[in-house]
Amino acid sequence: MRPAPCATLLALLVLALGYPSEAHAQKPQNPWLVHVAGGVYFPTGDYATTTNPGFGLETDIGYQLAPRWLVMATFNMGWLKGEVGPDWTNYGYFLKGAYDVGDPGSKLRILIPLGAGGVTFSPDSDSLESTSKFALNSGLMFQYYVSPKFAISFNG
């Protein structure tokens, strides 16, 4: 998948499902959420010494089970520039549960997700094959709601 089709797909998902709102954090009127992010993609493990950071995209489609609990399906992709080898495109796909530790009704929402899935490493080289591995995923998601339907997000 190239960036243009991905961006189109993400935009259609956002239009179809809508954005989460501040009222959503207090009382779920629409339990669905769509999260779209772009930013710096950092290499880890063996790739940390052979590639440079690149650009990454992520989308989460979530459903709020209870006021503080969500289940999310996540897809992300990142492009790493090879320093001493080929360029890489990495794909991640996870199913996560997340707990919202933020204050209900607050403009700041803090999610702690934990999930499992897979990661595919795809080299831009004919001499190497793509590999896929099982992976666990956790971290923090900080969302600050600028308006009831738009949030600035930081994923760590």
Tell me the pLDDT tens digit for each residue of 35-49: 888 888 888 777 788
What's the confidence (pLDDT) of residue 1? Answer: 43
| Region of residue 139 (phi > 0: left; psi between -120 and 50: alpha; otherwise: beta) | left
How many CB atoms are closer than 10 A to CB 63? Answer: 13
Provide the pLDDT for residue 32: 82
Q: What share of the chain in percent tops pLDDT 90?
A: 28
Could you count the other beta carbons within 10 Å of the beta carbon of residue 78?
20
Q: Are the beta carbons of 111 and 140 closer than 8 angstroms?
A: yes
Rounded Cα gap, residues 73 and 23, in angstroms: 22
pLDDT digits (tens, 9 = 90+) for 48-63: 888 888 999 988 898 9
Cα torsion 26, 28, 30, 33: sign: positive
Tell me the per-residue pLDDT of 51-104, one tens digit each, with 9 for 90 and over. 888 999 988 898 989 888 999 999 999 998 888 888 889 999 999 999 999 877
Which pLDDT value is given to residue 134? 95
Residue scoring higher pLDDT (149 or 34): 34
Cα 126 to Cα 3, 50, 60, 87, 140: the distances in Å are 21, 18, 32, 12, 37
Distance, in Å, from the CA atom of 98 to the CA atom of 112, rounded to the nearest integer, reads: 5
Percentage with pLDDT > 70 across the chain: 79
Predicted pLDDT at 118: 95
Asked whether the predicted pLDDT for residue 145 surpasses 50, the reply is yes
